[in-house]
Structure 1
């Protein structure tokens, strides 16, 4: 128990220190996700070796992973991205995935990417909506035409990979049975959404919301119950649990729009981003194999190639936007879209735990992903502002 106490103290300390990065000047301010991973690297077994990543740390990290995917589902607002932006986002993501598959097979053939091409393509085609959302709000882009198109593309850049992850990692049944279980799970998720909408239209949710001011917190408990139920159902059906958490987030997101659901969202944000999700990212850092970055002379080359591939894969869809994007906005759009750390961390974690990706390959992928968050939004902002300070 003493080891658990020490680990929990260190993790809580690191989680509390990470937000202090927002006090740095904007020119040197990394996203908090990057800070959490870096601090996790420092205290983990591959650096100072102050904490392990099993036991209580590992359990809380798994809870953080499911809550992260739950929050990702909540962030996808189909009311905002419907219509032309959604059509472009869907077509653009499939175009990205096609480009990613071609690149992954070519580079896998020459040994520069040592991971299953499908897994590599999923990682290359992600976009970090959770990272981009506060950046777009801070820069005043959220409610602009450019922001609307980017939010749609980023949402699809999370939704598409999530669906593929659930299908890839790892069916435990024959293909036909696995497909039937997927259909059954989707039906249950849709039924949950229908029931939630019925509660919304009947005014029951408004009555439940009154308990948010007391110790009952019933809507929060129901959201966690829904998440646990869909995660357990996904596991029972032999699907990946990430699909259950993501589906629960979609359902809660659909029925918590507008002012009535704002208090509920704030409380779920507090549980997720204030407690569980930071532990997941600290754990990602603790598992990060630093030695893998200098085990071979090709590692810097691989990281550079991956950075170029992120821009190529997620930037390729600008060809579909035509007059929807001004010529000057296409490079910033490509750079924003290529920002993809959180889901890539999930993919790397699942890839290593399932045996589909070697730890040293995951370290290279994570290094490139961290650089996308550190570099690409800053470059995009500079390009959007014409090089002027922002």
Structure 2
């Protein structure tokens, strides 16, 4: 099938996915991304064989992943997550990094390249995937949402840094020097973003916001593409550039056009969640090696092991270091959200397969476990939070009836 035919199938799957999520939502709340991936598997080579990859589809998929990470970076509000919460998030991730690499070394019998890939895959949080779930459930704003954002941001940004240092194929010293140079340029861009912008900049944003000019949207896209190109020039993973672009965009828009930033973000999200991000997840399903997972006993046995390790490696440090004001149900829900992963697992296993560091079975088991984490962990977290809300409501009704 030509790439245009495959793209039509991908977009048809993207349209069908929210309909299925809405239909199933009457009985059970299933994250939209699960339907997108499953539909990709169905139309992919291992089931119906209708959809095939090519360079154009791969480019759109990479842009979708970049947009997902960009939107995750944009959501970070450092004014609300700094201080003790951010310190706890950083320490939790550093402990996860040590645990992940240690367990991976044990699993691979100290085979360094394989252990680096597997260990890095175990320590991510899918903030870009969790955010829409939190937004739809109404949990994004408030103390709980702020804590999830803090731990999720570090869980998304930390593995990107680890990928740049550990999986680049260069000597660690060279990778570190390039990373420092990239961060220096990014810091200069942050300094520029924080400076007062000329009055004409805000006027042009307001004047073109509802016209075909769309200056603000075009400016954001220029910023995103520039940061992607900058990370590529430094030989770093482009996801680092996408995340940095999201942070910069929030600073620029909040400084230059705070009254219009929500509308501008709405247009960017429409482009991302309406087109590019679904392409990434459907293509993830098309690329998923179902035969490798089901064809051998070892790969299938690794899937539940990796799922448990996501909870152990990423979840336990988060549970232990969660802020003191989070108790009981909220702490457990935070652990489940922080252990949810997928986009970075796909990116990391792709690097591992390209470098022949891991087998197709191991990659399929990791991605399969990440898919199950996206299906199961947020659903359990939502149930926990909903149960707490019902218990609180019952308690209030009980108090009211007693006083009556």
Q: Normalising by the residue count of structure 2, what TM-score does the alignment of the two structures yield? A: 0.87
Deviation string 1:175-211 (CA, Å, 9 cap, x unpaired) is 54443332222122222222222254x4454223222
1:104 corresponds to: 104
Question: Contact (CA 8 Å) 2:307, 2:373: kept in 1 or not?
Answer: yes
C-alpha distance in 2 between matches for 1:353 and 1:249? 28
1:219 corresponds to: 216
1:45 corresponds to: 45
Question: Contact (CA 8 Å) 1:14, 1:39: kept in 2 or not?
Answer: yes
C-alpha distance in 2 between matches for 1:354 and 1:259? 47
Question: Contact (CA 8 Å) 2:85, 2:323: kept in 1 or not?
Answer: no
C-alpha distance in 1 between matches for 2:277 and 2:196? 29
C-alpha distance in 2 between matches for 1:77 and 1:322? 17
* Equivalent residues in 2 for 1:212-291, closer than 5 Å: 212-257=209-254, 259-291=259-291
2:140 corresponds to: 142
Question: Contact (CA 8 Å) 2:166, 2:172: kept in 1 or not?
Answer: no
The structure-2 alpha-carbon separation of the partners of 1:266 and 1:24, relative to structure 1 and needing over 3 Å to count, comes to same
C-alpha distance in 2 between matches for 1:57 and 1:336? 30
Structure 1: 5+ residue runs without aligned partners? none
The structure-2 alpha-carbon separation of the partners of 1:52 and 1:39, relative to structure 1 and needing over 3 Å to count, comes to same
Is residue 343 of structure 2 the alignment partner of residue 342 of structure 1? yes
Q: Normalising by the residue count of structure 1, what TM-score does the alignment of the two structures yield? A: 0.90
C-alpha distance in 2 between matches for 1:144 and 1:63? 31
* Equivalent residues in 2 for 1:1-390, closer than 5 Å: 3-26=2-25, 27-109=27-109, 116-171=114-169, 174-200=171-197, 202-210=198-206, 211-257=208-254, 259-317=259-317, 318-321=319-322, 323-386=324-387
Deviation string 1:123-148 (CA, Å, 9 cap, x unpaired) is 21111222322333444433343332
C-alpha distance in 2 between matches for 1:141 and 1:346? 28
Question: Contact (CA 8 Å) 1:181, 1:237: kept in 2 or not?
Answer: yes
Question: Contact (CA 8 Å) 1:219, 1:264: kept in 2 or not?
Answer: yes
C-alpha distance in 1 between matches for 2:58 and 2:374? 25
The structure-2 alpha-carbon separation of the partners of 1:228 and 1:323, relative to structure 1 and needing over 3 Å to count, comes to closer
Question: Contact (CA 8 Å) 1:256, 1:265: kept in 2 or not?
Answer: no
Higher radius of gyration, 1 or 2: 2
* 3-state secondary structure, aligned to 1:24: helix
Displacement after TM superposition at 1:287 (Å): 0.8
Question: Contact (CA 8 Å) 2:61, 2:279: kept in 1 or not?
Answer: yes
The structure-2 alpha-carbon separation of the partners of 1:10 and 1:140, relative to structure 1 and needing over 3 Å to count, comes to closer
Instruction: Say what the alpha-carbon RMSD is for the aligned residues.
Output: 2.6
Count of residues in correspondence between the two structures: 385
